[in-house]
Amino acid sequence: MTTPPPDGLEPVEASDPGFWHLRESYTFDRNVIAEIRRAANTGIYRIRGWGAKRHLPTLDDLVFLGASMSRYPLEGYREACGTDVVIGEDRAERPVHLKIPVTIAGMSFGSLSAQAKEALGRGASAAGTSTTTGDGGMTEEERQHSSTLVYQYLPSRYGMNPDHLRVADAIEVVVGQGAKPGGGGMLLGQKITERVAEMRTLPEGIDQRSACRHPDWTGPDDLEIKIGELREITDWQVPIYVKVGAARPYYDTALAVKAGADAVVVDGMQGGTAATQDVFIEHVGIPTLAAIGESVRALRELGVHRREVKLIVAGGIRSGADVAKALALGADAASIGTAALIAIGDNDPAYEAEYRDLGTSAGFWEDFQAGNDPAGITTQDPDLSARLDPVLAGRRLANYLQVLTIETQILARANGKSHVLNLEPEDLAALTVEAAAMAKVPLAGTDWVPGVG
């Protein structure tokens, strides 16, 4: 927080004509000034969650064309429109069957309260989809409340236990995360409670900075051997995913396929549940929109697209429109993190007074690392986390997932598709030149794809 103005003086209101001669600098706006003052006061970089906040080209810059003379739509509520996705049927004894093309992204117990993890498990299970562990191991509660649970295998290996590996429904080898491709997670001292410290074998109360690189493999050739080991240890029962932050999606996807992944998870820079350095969040990685097409191109060239290797896209997915557009561009499923937290109660305006006490406001709460979340989600404080009713919060998430799914079906039917995975790039047009170039679909009203012919 910055020093308030002296008594009796209120900050300038833009609506007051008496101040209309003042022109705020685009380069040094008040937000920039506040950050420079904060840095000068504390000597430490800014840490936060909530993903890239700057304006980015997004899936909103695409529209569906819908049905017209040459193709007919399907009747809503009458004609079937499938939504199921299967992952790993080629190699795993027990492939993952998802009823809907939306999954819950990895978030750890530790970063989230036990109640929040339970709510995610309940909501996802009711909707027929999977949840994912995070950097900190698997809890009993989490396994119990998630019918399909993906176990993350991370650089830090906090809480990594082969027994958990064997009871998981899939394993996700995390190479990187959209918020911070190339960076490790951060959890500040208040959240390293006795239970979290014990699960991670760390001293209680330390400011944890997780490893950013796996300790026992470097590069795709090693990863292939590592995936072989994971398959041997789990007797080839479950699918293995590889998660990468959106950095070089064409090459990263091709290398993940070569390493033997059953699914590639590509996480764009809008991915927001990771708490890390602001400079990392805003300046490393590429937008989700720009990553999808490149991953799909790699899968197509290798002949595995929509076949042996599935593509899961994450990073700023908010609506059925986002899901449908990601699928149309070639993803097999979309994954949500921040949106799921909002659905269960993150940034709830009901706690406005408490947000104000913390120097923020509902809609701006982003200190996921700090542990004092008024909504009881990104905290280990027993009183705060007790505020979240996991049953009701789970119901909210199930409702939200249902809306995402039905919205996706609405758009698929409008384009004449009897399964959401039949959506294709030909159903889309771009509203901006940037989006046309990134997604490789024509600019609306033209047949022009920048960079292609």
Partner 1 sequence: MKRLFDLAQVSRRELNQALHDASDGESFEVTNPRGTHAVACGITAEIDVVVRGSVGYYCAGMHQRGRVLVEGNASTGLAENIMSGRVHITGNATMSAGATGCGGLVVVGGNAGARCGISMKGVDIVVGGNVGHMSAFMAQAGNLVVCGDAAADLGDSIYEAQIFVRGDVESLGADCIEKEMRPTHVETLSRLLAAAATVPAVNGPDPADFRRYGSARRLYNFTIDDVDAVARAARERSEQERDTRAA
Q: Which stretch binds partner 1 (CB under 8 A): 49-57, 155-163, 345-353, 443-451?
A: 155-163
- Quickly list H helices, 309-389: 320-328, 338-344, 352-357, 382-385
Question: In the set 73, 82, 189, 220, which binds partner 1 (CB under 8 A)?
Answer: 189
Identify the burial level of 3 via C-beta atoms within 10 angstroms of its C-beta, where 0-12 means exposed, 13-18 middle and 19 or more buried: exposed
Which segment (41-49, 289-297, 334-342, 401-409) binds partner 1 by CB under 8 A?
41-49
In sequence order, the β-bridge partners of residue 134 are: 137
Which tokens hold the place of 240? Answer: 């293995």
How is residue 452 written in tokens?
């292609």
**Residue 381 CB, nearest approach to partner 1 (Å):** 19
- Least CB distance from residue 6 to partner 1, whole Å? 12
Tell me the closest approach of the beta carbon of residue 332 to partner 1, in angstroms. Answer: 28
Residues 94-123 that bind partner 1 (CB under 8 A): none
Do the strands 170-174 and 240-245 form a parallel or antiparallel pair, or are they unpaired? Answer: parallel
Is the Cβ of residue 41 or residue 446 nearer to partner 1 in the bound state?
A: 41
Stretch of 4-12, 24-32, 38-46, 66-74 contacting partner 1, by CB under 8 A? 38-46
Q: Which is nearer to partner 1, 76 or 203 (CB)?
A: 203
Q: Which helix (H) or strand (E) holds 409?
A: helix 390-414
Rounded Cα gap, residues 344 and 389, in angstroms: 9
**160 in contact with partner 1 (CB under 8 A):** yes
Q: Which is nearer to partner 1, 8 or 43 (CB)?
A: 43
**Region near partner 1 per CB under 8 A, out of 8-16, 24-32, 40-48, 408-416:** 40-48
User: Quick one: which of 162, 164, 163, 46 has its CA closest to 109?
Assistant: 164
Closer by beta carbon to partner 1, 41 or else 68: 41
Q: How far is CA 226 from CA 118, 216, 342, 449, in A?
A: 31, 9, 35, 40
Q: Considering only residues 236-275, where is the footprint of partner 1 by CB under 8 A?
A: 236
Q: What whole-number distance in Å separates Cα of residue 24 and Cα of residue 65?
A: 41
- Between 100 and 197, whose beta carbon lies closer to partner 1? 197
Q: Count of residues binding partner 1 (CB under 8 A)? A: 36
Fill in the DSSP letter of residue 240. E
Reported residue count of the chain is: 453
Q: Which is nearer to partner 1, 73 or 189 (CB)?
A: 189
Please identify, using beta-carbon distances, which residue of 68 and 201 lies nearer to partner 1: 201
Q: Which helix (H) or strand (E) holds 70?
A: none
Q: For the CB of residue 251, give the shortest distance to partner 1 in the complex, in Å.
A: 23
From CA 125, how far away is CA 102, in angstroms rounded? 12
Shortest distance (Å) from residue 353 CB to partner 1: 25
Q: How far is CA 38 from CA 41, 44, 187, 306, 360, in A?
A: 5, 9, 20, 48, 15
36 is a contact residue toward partner 1 (CB under 8 A): no
Question: CA-based Rg of the chain, rounded to a whole angstrom?
Answer: 22
382 interacts with partner 1 by CB under 8 A: no
* β-pair type (310-314, 62-64): unpaired
Residue 69 CB, shortest distance to partner 1, in Å, is: 56
Least gap, CB of 394 to partner 1 (angstroms): 32
CA–CA gap between residue 316 and residue 273 (Å, rounded): 10
Cβ proximity to partner 1: between 165 and 358 the closer is 165
Q: What six digits make up the tokens of 354?
A: 């408490």
| Helices assigned H by DSSP within 147-218 | 162-167, 194-200
For 98, list phi and psi in degrees, rounded to 5.
Answer: -105, 135
Question: Between 288-301 and 249-258, two packed helices, what is the crossing angle to 10 degrees?
Answer: 40
Q: Which is nearer to partner 1, 201 or 418 (CB)?
A: 201
Candidate list 161, 361, 418, 446; residue touching partner 1; CB under 8 A? 161
| Closest separation in Å from C-beta 52 to partner 1 | 23
| Site mask for partner 1 (CB under 8 A), range 197-236, x = bound | ---xxxx-xxx---x---xxx----x--xx-xx--xxxxx
Nearer to partner 1, 237 or 402 (CB): 237
Residues 83 and 64: their CA atoms lie apart, in Å, by 18
- Decide: is 42 part of the binding site for partner 1 (CB under 8 A): yes
The site string for partner 1 over 66-95 (x = CB under 8 A, - otherwise) reads ------------------------------
Q: Distance between the two ends of the chain, CA-based, in angstroms?
A: 52
CB of 329 to partner 1, least distance (A): 36
> How far apart are the C-alpha atoms of 179 and 273, rounded to whole Å?
8
Write the DSSP symbol of residue 159.
T
Q: Minimum CB separation from partner 1 for residue 162, in Å?
A: 4
Q: Which residues of the shown chain bind partner 1 in the complex (CB under 8 A)? A: 3, 40-44, 156-157, 160-163, 165, 188-189, 200-203, 205-207, 211, 215-217, 222, 225-226, 228-229, 232-236
